[in-house]
């Protein structure tokens, strides 16, 4: 089976974008992301807009050549595109007309580059002049009424670098502004010039705790460009690896969430279960993070499946006892219920994805809606919760752990025989779009090849990029005591956002 279903593409003039976007959203479609690349040199950018019309429909791609006039911003029509437009301005130099928030996103306040980093040509020279953050004046207040707490970018423990500005009065957070991208790695640029086969090693490291899913999304894009058929056995084993990854991520999430509610025994037990799951991963793949198996065209080698069924049975038994104890611990549940409420429409408009979206009642999961690999052949229960708070986000992940174990059991019982890989050589100047559901939401990869068959442009749509955009809406008008719980309930990563 091929890595990705057929994708529908069409060319649009800049003047058509706003009208078509409104029409698509009115029909129930959802914009996913946008990006720019330069197929004909540094002076001729091409914009790509990716949207999903609905369950069972393939993604649609709009191609747009803006020419000499700035293209219109779609941020007021599809708000989730705002960050993508700002990122495109910072990295590709494309300015959008009527962008409601034109401040840089990736470049920190005071930073500047003599040329956009992703425009073909020599590497840019970066310079920096210290500059104050541009924080809002809150209506009905003066600076004497409101306190400013800048937190970060260096934070305690092993947390990733980020700075958060809290404008607060007493315990009430009036406004919250996250500043990410302190360690932006330029991962998309690093793909340029690599062979498609080598690119998977980089994809595995975009977000280390999503190694399998990022590798899958990347490989699906390359396989779509090559129009190659992945052997059926390999597609089933890929599902097994992806669900093992989901299990250990969600176990870590539950332990960390207990840490923020000061449930120390729950934290220790959750992280013990996470360690147990990672040891299972190591026995199966040789890597605790399941790296080194997924490759364009299939898998590199056979996973070691002996004893996996028994290991999963023991893990499931211990996990069930763990979740029963969580459900009976009112001090933990009280801190989660009504904390970090994210309304369903807001989640849709601003781009929430994965368990965060499904905890708002959004019944969306590409494993079913844009089915890839072997997922169409396997039983998949999509966990949905409509309570929209931190408790709902916990419950969705708990349900997903049990479903992942069930799916792995079906894979072990019905694993087909056959080859593990097939030749996958995308022709020169080909392109492909791929996707996969990570433990944090949907990842997309768009791959473009040059005239030599090497990667010319790889665009990554990472789920934490989407969920970090959504998160501040749950912090405004909340209180300082709940902030850590709320952040933990989103399962965010800075690396996955900054790339």
Band of pLDDT at residue 141, cut at 50, 70 and 90:
low
Return the structure tokens found at 339: 């904390």
Which conformational region is residue 227 in: left (phi greater than 0), alpha (psi within -120 to 50 degrees), or beta? Answer: left
Question: Do residues 105 and 87 touch, judged by C-beta distance below 8 A?
Answer: yes
Give the pLDDT score at 411.
Answer: 97
> Is pLDDT above 90 for 361?
yes
User: Domain check: are 464 and 351 in the same one?
Assistant: yes
CATH, residue 214? 1.10.645.10
Give the pLDDT score at 377.
Answer: 93
Backbone angles phi, psi at 147, to 5 degrees: -100, 150
User: Domain check: are 211 and 118 in the same one?
Assistant: no
Return the structure tokens found at 308: 């996996």
- How far the first Cα of the chain sits from its last, in Å, is 30
> Which of helix, strand or coil describes residue 209?
helix
Structural domains of the chain, count: 2
> Is pLDDT above 60 for 3?
no
Residue 187 domain-assigned (yes or no)? no
Average pLDDT over every residue of 138-148: 71
Q: Express each pLDDT in 163-204 by its tens digit.
A: 888 888 888 998 898 989 888 888 999 999 999 999 999 999
Q: Express each pLDDT in 222-235 by its tens digit.
A: 999 999 999 999 99
CATH, residue 27? 3.30.460.80
Give the pLDDT score at 112.
Answer: 83
Contacts of 34 (CB under 8 A, 6+ apart): 47, 48, 49, 50, 74, 81, 84, 85, 88
Average pLDDT over every residue of 39-67: 91
Question: Do residues 194 and 202 touch, judged by C-beta distance below 8 A?
Answer: yes
User: Domain check: are 314 and 452 in the same one?
Assistant: yes
Residue 162 domain-assigned (yes or no)? no
User: Domain check: are 104 and 250 in the same one?
Assistant: no
Give the pLDDT score at 54.
Answer: 79
User: Domain check: are 103 and 202 in the same one?
Assistant: no
User: Domain check: are 324 and 407 in the same one?
Assistant: yes
How many Å apart are CA 487 and CA 468, to the nearest integer? 10
Residue 478 domain-assigned (yes or no)? no
Question: Do residues 77 and 25 touch, judged by C-beta distance below 8 A?
Answer: yes
Give the pLDDT score at 4.
Answer: 46
Question: Comparing C-alpha atoms, which of 121, 75, 200 is closest to residue 458?
Answer: 200
**Containing domain of residue 366, as a range?**
194-470
User: Domain check: are 267 and 394 in the same one?
Assistant: yes
Residue 484 domain-assigned (yes or no)? no
Residue 109 domain-assigned (yes or no)? yes
User: Domain check: are 116 and 206 in the same one?
Assistant: no
Q: For the sheet with 30-37, list strands across it.
A: 8-11, 60-64, 46-52, 30-37
Could you tell me how far CA 273 lies from the centroid of its own chain?
A: 24
User: Domain check: are 330 and 429 in the same one?
Assistant: yes
Average pLDDT over every residue of 354-364: 96
Instruction: Give, for 284, the enclosing helix (H) or strand (E).
Output: helix 264-285
Residue 269 domain-assigned (yes or no)? yes
Cα–Cα distances in Å, from 316 out to 58, 225, 305, 320?
35, 39, 17, 6
Question: Do residues 233 and 416 touch, judged by C-beta distance below 8 A?
Answer: yes
Give the pLDDT score at 159.
Answer: 75
Domain boundary among 124, 139, 173: 124
User: Domain check: are 90 and 220 in the same one?
Assistant: no
Q: Is 406 exposed, middle or buried (0-12, 13-18, 19+ CB in 10 A)?
A: middle
Give the pLDDT score at 2.
Answer: 42
Domain boundary among 124, 149, 176: 124
Give the pLDDT score at 139.
Answer: 67
How many Å apart are CA 477 and CA 416, to the nearest integer? 53
> Is pLDDT above 60 for 249?
yes
> Is pLDDT above 60 for 16?
yes
Domain boundary among 103, 124, 145: 124
Residue 133 domain-assigned (yes or no)? no
Residue 454 domain-assigned (yes or no)? yes
């Amino acid at each position: 089976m091929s890595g990705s279903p057929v994708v529908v593409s069409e060319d649009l003039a800049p003047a058509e974008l706003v009208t078509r976007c409104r029409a698509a959203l009115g029909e129930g479609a959802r914009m996913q992301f946008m990006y720019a690349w330069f197929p004909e040199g540094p002076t001729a950018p091409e914009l790509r807009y990716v949207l999903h019309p609905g369950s069972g429909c393939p993604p649609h791609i709009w191609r747009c050549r803006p020419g000499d006039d700035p293209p219109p911003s779609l941020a007021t029509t599809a708000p989730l595109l705002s960050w993508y437009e700002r990122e495109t301005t910072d990295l590709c130099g494309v300015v959008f007309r009527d962008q409601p928030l034109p401040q840089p996103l990736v470049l920190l306040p005071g930073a500047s580059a003599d040329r956009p980093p992703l425009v073909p040509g020599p590497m840019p020279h970066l310079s920096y002049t210290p500059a104050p953050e541009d924080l809002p004046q809150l209506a009905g207040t003066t600076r004497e009424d409101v306190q400013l707490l800048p937190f970060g970018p260096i934070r305690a423990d092993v947390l990733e670098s980020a700075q958060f500005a809290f404008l607060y009065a007493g315990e009430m957070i009036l406004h919250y502004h996250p500043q990410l991208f302190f360690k932006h790695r330029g991962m998309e640029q690093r793909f340029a010039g690599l062979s498609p086969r080598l690119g998977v090693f980089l994809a595995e490291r975009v977000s280390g705790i999503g190694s399998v899913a990022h590798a899958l999304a990347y490989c699906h894009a390359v396989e779509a460009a090559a129009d190659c058929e992945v052997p059926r056995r390999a597609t089933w084993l890929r599902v097994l690896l992806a669900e093992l990854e989901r299990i250990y991520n969600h176990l870590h999430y539950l332990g960390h969430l207990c840490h923020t509610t000061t449930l120390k025994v729950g934290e220790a037990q959750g992280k013990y279960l996470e360690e147990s799951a990672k040891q299972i991963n190591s026995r199966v793949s040789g890597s605790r993070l399941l790296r080194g198996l997924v490759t364009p065209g299939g898998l590199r080698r056979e996973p070691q499946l002996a004893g996996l069924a028994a290991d999963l049975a023991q893990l499931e038994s211990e996990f069930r006892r763990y979740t029963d104890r969580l459900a009976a611990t009112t001090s933990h549940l009280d801190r989660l219920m009504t904390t970090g409420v994210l309304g369903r429409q807001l989640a849709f408009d601003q781009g929430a994805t994965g368990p965060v979206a499904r905890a708002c009642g959004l019944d969306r999961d590409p494993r079913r809606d844009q089915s890839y690999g072997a997922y169409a052949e396997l039983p998949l229960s999509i966990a949905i919760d409509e309570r929209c708070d931190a408790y709902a986000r916990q419950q969705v992940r708990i349900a997903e752990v049990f479903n992942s174990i069930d799916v792995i059991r079906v894979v072990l019982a019905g694993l087909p025989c056959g080859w593990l890989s097939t030749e996958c050589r995308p022709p020169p100047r080909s392109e492909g779009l791929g996707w996969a559901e990570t433990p944090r939401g949907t990842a997309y990869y768009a791959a473009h090849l040059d005239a030599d068959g090497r990667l010319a442009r790889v665009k990554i749509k990472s789920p934490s990029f989407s969920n970090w955009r959504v998160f501040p809406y749950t912090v405004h008008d909340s209180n300082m005591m709940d902030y850590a719980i709320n952040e933990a309930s989103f399962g965010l990563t800075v690396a996955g956002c900054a790339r």
